[in-house]
Amino acid sequence: MLFLVRMDVHIPHDLPNAQADEIKAREKAYALDLQRDGRWRYLWRVVGEYANYSVFDVASNDELHTLLSKLPLFPYMKLHVTPLAQHPSALA
């Protein structure tokens, strides 16, 4: 199942820089692992925002929820999830 996910990150201004940097490093490592195993298929930055659009390829809603909730930045995110289906006019 494919899902389009918009992630908007809002790290509190009073979070110490060292702690924020450590969380971001764990986030990057986790995201890279998910991209390598094919579940995080695409990752695009939103220009001018601390946000991204991502496409996930997972077996179920529950699997997506589990993956997203394990993101180290999850407590600081607003997420919008859109399930995707093949369009009848798409070449693929």
Residue with tokens 């990150």: 9
Q: With a cut of 90, say whether residue 72 has pLDDT above it.
A: yes
33-57 per-position pLDDT tens digit: 999 999 999 999 999 999 999 999 9
Q: For residues 85 and 74, give the distance between their C-alpha atoms in angstroms, rounded to a whole number.
A: 26
The mean per-residue pLDDT over the stretch 54-62 comes to 98
- To the nearest 10°, report the CA torsion of 31, 78, 70, 68: -70
Domains and CATH numbers, the chain: 2-84 (3.30.70.1060)
Amino acid at 78: K
Q: Confidence class of residue 92 from pLDDT cuts 50, 70 and 90?
A: confident
Residues 6+ positions from 27 with CB-CB distance below 8 Å? 71, 72, 73
Residue among 84, 78, 32, 28 at smallest CA distance from 58: 84
pTM (2 decimals)?
0.93
